[in-house]
Amino acid sequence: MIQVTDFHKAYRGAVAVEELSFDVQPGQVLGLLGPNGAGKTTTMRAIAGVIPPTRGRLLIADHDVSTEPVAAKRLLAYVPDDPKLFDALTVWEHLQFMAAAYRVNDFEADARALLDQFELTPKRDALAQELSRGMRQKVAICCAYLHHPRAILFDEPITGLDPHGIRTMKESVRQRAAAGAAVIVSSHLLSLVQDLCTHLLILHHGRRIFFGRVEDARTAFATVNSDASLEEMFFRATEGETAGTNSG
């Protein structure tokens, strides 16, 4: 569903990501990990078609993001770490706008269900500028889900959410994956990744140092005991000897 092959991105000669390849199959939730500056957001923005790759292929359901941007983006949703809403639109008007942009007919029932799921129904007619940070995040997630994307990208998805909102968000990701979506979640909160993700991609200095199933990460880092937490594995990968380009 998401296929990245030999992705390379450089800014004015400075390499942000190099020689990155991985894929995410339907039903999988990939945790994208790495220290600050590892290339996580660059990778997400390139897959979403926000920035062009310097080289490499980025496919969404076999549609090339660079050469078939409209076809690829019809199947994609991207929620950045600080989603921008339209301050002058209400919550419901945001959903109307997304339905029009993606040509979703008879969207009202799905939109109402999303508002109920994320406890936004009482704020249906509130302007975006009147919402808290957490509520704005919920609106962005509802907008992302409305056209039933087959590939979903989240960059720090629980920023601003309260504990109940976090639980709702995690459950919604599980539901979308169970329905066949391929999901990427980038987060510095390792507990979120450990709880939610089926696979891991660890980046360091723009290069892949691990890609595979969560349970295989312990095998990749042989000196870590079998009961090691994701936090222990992460620090082993990024501060000690790495697993090279393990592909799971």
Give all domains of the chain, ordered by start, each with its CATH number.
2-239 (3.40.50.300)
Structure tokens at 167: 């639980």
- Residue 227 pLDDT level (bands cut at 50, 70, 90): low
pLDDT at 203 over 60: yes
In terms of DSSP H, where are the helices of the chain?
A: 40-47, 69-74, 91-101, 108-117, 133-145, 163-178, 190-196, 214-220, 230-239
DSSP per position, 141-169? HHHHHTT--SEEEEESTTTT--HHHHHHH
- pLDDT computed for residue 242 by the predictor: 45
Going from the C-alpha of 163 to that of each of 12, 138, 169, 170, 196, the distances in angstroms are 41, 13, 10, 11, 15
Task: Identify the three-state secondary structure at position 35.
Answer: coil
% of the chain beyond a pLDDT of 90: 81
Mean pLDDT, the chain, integer: 92
| Vertex 216 angle, CA 156 and 199, to 5° | 30
